[in-house]
Amino acid sequence: MRKSILMLVIMVIFSANIFAQNDPMTNFFKKYAGNELFTKVTISSKMFSMFTHFEPNDPNEKEMMKALSKLKSIRILSADSIPNGKKYFSEAMSSIKGTKFEELMSVVDGTTDMQFMVQETGGKISELLMLVGGSNKFYMLSLHGDIDLKQISKLSENMKISGLEHLNKVGGNGKKKE
């Protein structure tokens, strides 16, 4: 019996390591997180759970708290003055080819490319990925949790998160509004 339990524990640990290694955005994030050219921000589920103890009075704050309570993590990797930011954008985009990420929307603005990708689990958006690459900038934002695009768009407006305001152009089902 002990051998069976020990084997089960080993298999669970081994499979968790394989799963973590197969997440291209986690690998990309880890690859550049220690690079001094990049700023790295991670917010864990513990931080979001702390927000649930507040009782907001303002309707905007209530909406913000509702959106935050459904998030599990946020990871941001950014560089505002990096040579050839498009190289990092291309690398990130090529690392997610063949994964379960689907394009939600793309924005090309002069020399800057922006891509929104989602990953769905059980018909709900479980990850939202925003990648931005320009001649001298690169941003990666990854949101994990139960994601409602309308709430995230409102959240980004209140928190002044650049780029996510484009989500108001997307319908509730994750498809671009015509």
Closest CA to 148 of 123, 125, 169, 170: 125
How high is the mean pLDDT of the chain? 77
Rg, C-alpha atoms of the chain: 18
Q: Residues 174, 118: contact at Cβ < 8 Å?
A: yes
What confidence score (pLDDT) does residue 48 get? Answer: 75
Closest CA to 153 of 166, 136, 143, 139: 166
- Over the stretch 105-157, which tens digit does the pLDDT of each residue have? 999 988 899 999 999 888 888 999 999 999 899 999 999 998 887 777 766 66
- Over the stretch 67-96, which tens digit does the pLDDT of each residue have? 777 888 999 999 999 988 999 999 999 999
Between 12 and 73, whose confidence is greater?
73
Closest CA to 30 of 144, 127, 142, 128: 142
Across the beta sheet with 112-121, what order do the strands follow? 39-43, 71-79, 138-147, 124-133, 112-121, 102-109
Integer Cα distance of 72 and 127 in angstroms: 10
Q: What percentage of the chain's residues is helix, strand, coil (to nearest 5)?
A: 45, 30, 25
Q: Residues 119, 139: contact at Cβ < 8 Å?
A: no
Q: How many CB atoms lie within 10 A of CB 118?
A: 21
Tokens representing residue 172 in the block: 């509730």
Q: pLDDT class for 38, splitting at 50, 70, 90?
A: very high
Q: What percent of the chain has pLDDT over 70?
A: 71
Q: pLDDT class for 177, splitting at 50, 70, 90?
A: very low
Q: Going by CATH, does the domain composed of 23-169 fall within 3.30.310?
A: no
Between 156 and 62, whose confidence is greater?
62
Ordered by start, the domain boundaries in the chain are 23-169
